[in-house]
Structure 1
Amino acid sequence: MRIKQAALVGLTLIAAAFVAGAGACTNAAEPAAVGRSVSPPAASLARPRTLSVVAAGDLFVPPDLTAQAAADARAAGKPGHDFTQILAAVAPIVRSADLAVCHVEQPLAPPEGPFTGWPTFSAPPQLVDAAAGAGFDTCSTASNHTLDHGEEGVRRTLDNLDRVGLHHSGSARSAAEAATPNVFSVHGVKVAQLAYTFSFNGIQRPPGKPWIANPIDVPKILHDAHAAKQAGAEIVILSMHWGWTEYQNAPDADQVSQARQLLASPDVDLIIGMHVHVVQPFEKIGDKWVAYGLGNLLCRFSDGTAENTQDSAVPRFTFTEVTPGTWRVTDVEVHPMFMAYHPQARLVDVAAAANGVAPGTGYARILQRISGDVNMRGAEAAGLRMVRPT
């Protein structure tokens, strides 16, 4: 759902609580202590008792995907890059949700480039046009590559997200922006997204500007989540760019420990994780959920890493208002996706592609692999449903 299509209205917030410490949830351009909100539907529409939230993993663009987007743009008679066809398979899932969350892994470059790869990445700005067109509403921007192109890269990325109407959290252009929480009113229900990263790959934040990007600091995250609740958010979602060991399906000890600390707080309602470039398990901790790693929505690694860097899990979390103002995830449905590169680079809906495929072969094999990774910590026994062939 594109909640940007509704009119923006002011929502009075206690933003001063976000100023203390390094970094905070971000989004608004206004310097005043006013959060970004979206007006509820017309008064004749009842406030819902359930809300659906779809989340997706890394929007990470390697050079071969940049080349495909350039070829698609040329075929459509457009300048630059067009990621629309690459993302087409996930768009129906994203658009069906009340709120859809994405993750912009690397800074956006100027339209003319250069578009850089390892070790300092950048992507064509049209990436976010396609994300908005697919139906995403808000994106995390805190990653180990946030500072790859310095302050200019941070500003350019956020400017482009603003241009296409996507909210964002995890980096900021000013202290005032960093102090303003990313809060939505989705059908009249206020939702906050906060975003943090485990590392900046050794790049230091500019002197005097700790607010430019948010590192993982559990006490600070709990502080921010509490402030978001005090400011009116009924649901707080954390986007966590974490996991020290890339390509490892099992969450590491830090991820597990941090998830337990964060979900123990009444101020945190859901954690969605990114970074390690493969699918990691989902787990129900108490009555809340963590998705340790959603995998690469867009990417693969051509340096000899395994095929599973093309896997991703796209969950749909259904929140239910269990008591007035208190929401819990009551249903989790996971759509397995695969970033295929032949004959063209296109996302594939794995469950649909596995229809009629013999077990252990082709997309049936990929579905089995993704399902095993998602269920590594007992998610299906806790009620998660994996979408499978009909």
Structure 2
Amino acid sequence: MQLSNQPSHQAIKFKIKRKLLLALSLLTLWTPQSLVQAQMNIDKNESAMQSLEQNSESSQGGQTVRVRAIGDILLHDFVYERARTANGYNFDSMLAPVKSYLENADITVANMETIVAGESVGLGTYPFFNAPSQIVDSLKNVGVDIVNNVSNHTMDMGAQGVLASIKALKQRDMMYVGSYESWEDYNTPRIIERNGIKVGFLAYAYGLNGLERPQNQQYLATLIDKELMPLEIKDLNSKVDVSVVIIQNGEEYETMPTADQIATHQLARDAGANFVLGGHPHVLEPFIYYNESQAGLFSHGNFLTGQYEAATKVGGITEFTYRKLDDGKVVLDSMRFMPTYNIGLPESSEYLVVPLADWQKYNIANGQALMDEIRQRMTRFTNKVQVVDYLD
């Protein structure tokens, strides 16, 4: 359960201590490069090199949970207009080429970079987004179990749009995290249990494009609070076996994490998050490995979108598998990543998300070079992740 907005004296003391520690850490003046290099030095040593293999090989019994995650669903008007039908909208065909890689996970999570309030508040496109609610139907059809619904676009249509979007999600029985309809909803933990393993989710965004949440309705969009976030992660960890924390921050179109991204991910890791899933840059950024039970991804990039710059068309399906050993200990069993490509331009007749490995079939220019570059980028900080053509 997330904490209320009325912290106890003990919580306040904890926050002050955390703030002092954070200030001291910033005095080191580490750059993104030095932070990354430090991680690489740790990650490349021989014992760390073998840890994931040891987790798999030495595991005696126990259960596993396989989580897959996709990046931004950011629907511009020229995307949802291609999905228009006589009876509304249908996005199934756009996701059909990757359906088989999403529906066979234990849990699949998607990042809703737009609200899905539909025509009830008026559809929107850049810079104020609002997509047809039917995109949720198509996400469910490919196996998505939960969506992150907080981003810098959450308040694009005001409180009315947020509440209408949540209503659409609830009508379709889609679990959501990050943007809520009430304090009661905010304080309800998001937990999915599979194979006897409880997986919990939290989500935070860096801001709201200059827009504000109404007074006393901060639950509409959960923003990064470097004092409160660790408390909420610790509280969630008391209820679950595996915690997944989704963080929206960083610089758009940058393929390397910023100092703020690194620090925020580290803060979540220090609080006990098992996997930190990053987004917002709209392009892919590398994975990071902390220890045998903690890892993350700095940016998952786009998945289905109308953005047409070359780098924004490449995304992927992230997979991380956790194993709960017979003694109750939870370890990271494996990480894999399958690159995808978002076919379509404003003037084109269709939009599709396809495996990038099928570049020849879909005539994707420089497909092999893209695959090679993505493989190098995603493994830049760690070789614990396998970049694969296809997920089985």
Query: Aligned partners of 2:366 and 2:146: how far apart in 1?
Result: 33
CA contact (8 A) 1:279 1:295 kept: yes
Does residue 55 in structure 1 map to residue 69 in structure 2?
Answer: yes
Query: Aligned partners of 1:216 and 1:21: how far apart in 2?
Result: 17
Q: Secondary structure at the match of 1:293?
A: strand
Unaligned ranges ≥5, structure 2: 8-60
Residue number among 284, 290, 294 corresponding to 2:300 in the alignment: 294
Query: Aligned partners of 1:259 and 1:110: how far apart in 2?
Result: 33
| Residue in structure 1 matched with residue 210 of structure 2 by the alignment | 202
1:361 Cα deviation (Å)?
Answer: 5.4
Query: Aligned partners of 2:281 and 2:180: how far apart in 1?
Result: 24
256-265 or 124-133: which moved more? 256-265
Q: What TM-score comes out, normalization by structure 1 length?
A: 0.80
Does residue 274 in structure 1 map to residue 279 in structure 2?
Answer: yes
Instruction: Give the residue type in structure 2 aligned to 1:227.
Output: D
| Residue in structure 1 matched with residue 27 of structure 2 by the alignment | none
Residue number among 233, 240, 255 corresponding to 1:233 in the alignment: 240
Query: Aligned partners of 2:350 and 2:200: how far apart in 1?
Result: 37
* 1:127-138 mapped onto 2 (5 Å cutoff): 127-138=135-146
Query: Aligned partners of 1:297 and 1:250: how far apart in 2?
Result: 18
Unaligned ranges ≥5, structure 1: 1-14, 23-46
Post-superposition Cα deviations, 1:34-77, rounded to whole Å, max 9, x if no partner, equal xxxxxxxxxxxxx961110000101110121112111xx35xxx
| Residue in structure 2 matched with residue 33 of structure 1 by the alignment | none
- Change in 2 beyond 3 A, CA 1:49/1:354: farther
Instruction: Give the residue type in structure 2 aligned to 1:207.
Output: Q
Does residue 109 in structure 1 map to residue 110 in structure 2?
Answer: no
Query: Aligned partners of 1:59 and 1:121: how far apart in 2?
Result: 11
Query: Aligned partners of 2:6 and 2:254: how far apart in 1?
Result: 32
Residue number among 151, 170, 184 corresponding to 1:176 in the alignment: 184
Q: Secondary structure at the match of 1:201?
A: coil
1:133 Cα deviation (Å)?
Answer: 0.8
Does residue 263 in structure 1 map to residue 277 in structure 2?
Answer: no
Residue number among 209, 226, 230 corresponding to 1:222 in the alignment: 230
CA contact (8 A) 2:256 2:286 kept: yes
1:296 Cα deviation (Å)?
Answer: 0.5
| Residue in structure 2 matched with residue 95 of structure 1 by the alignment | 103
Q: Secondary structure at the match of 1:263?
A: helix
Post-superposition Cα deviations, 1:92-144, rounded to whole Å, max 9, x if no partner, equal 11111000111111112334673211221110110111011110001111100
- Change in 2 beyond 3 A, CA 1:292/1:170: same
1:340 Cα deviation (Å)?
Answer: 0.4
| Residue in structure 2 matched with residue 38 of structure 1 by the alignment | none
Query: Aligned partners of 2:390 and 2:362: how far apart in 1?
Result: 8
| Residue in structure 2 matched with residue 386 of structure 1 by the alignment | 387
Q: Secondary structure at the match of 1:53?
A: strand
Aligned residues: 334
CA contact (8 A) 2:113 2:153 kept: yes
Residue number among 309, 313, 326 corresponding to 1:310 in the alignment: 313
* 1:345-384 mapped onto 2 (5 Å cutoff): 345-354=351-360, 362-377=366-381, 379=382, 381=383, 383-384=384-385
Percent of aligned positions with the same letter in both sequences? Answer: 23
Query: Aligned partners of 2:140 and 2:193: how far apart in 1?
Result: 18
Q: What TM-score comes out, normalization by structure 2 length?
A: 0.80
CA contact (8 A) 2:303 2:314 kept: yes
Post-superposition Cα deviations, 1:164-186, rounded to whole Å, max 9, x if no partner, equal 22111101111111111111222
Post-superposition Cα deviations, 1:207-231, rounded to whole Å, max 9, x if no partner, equal 122222100113312111111122x
Instruction: Give the residue type in structure 2 aligned to 1:233.
Output: V
245-254 or 184-193: which moved more? 184-193
CA contact (8 A) 1:312 1:370 kept: no
Does residue 64 in structure 1 map to residue 78 in structure 2?
Answer: yes
Instruction: Give the residue type in structure 1 aligned to 2:385.
Output: L
Does residue 83 in structure 1 map to residue 91 in structure 2?
Answer: yes
| Residue in structure 1 matched with residue 154 of structure 2 by the alignment | 146
1:375 Cα deviation (Å)?
Answer: 2.2
1:355 Cα deviation (Å)?
Answer: 7.9
335-344 or 288-297: which moved more? 335-344
- Change in 2 beyond 3 A, CA 1:109/1:285: same
Query: Aligned partners of 2:380 and 2:94: how far apart in 1?
Result: 29
Post-superposition Cα deviations, 1:263-315, rounded to whole Å, max 9, x if no partner, equal 123x310011111111111111233211111111011425xxx3111110211
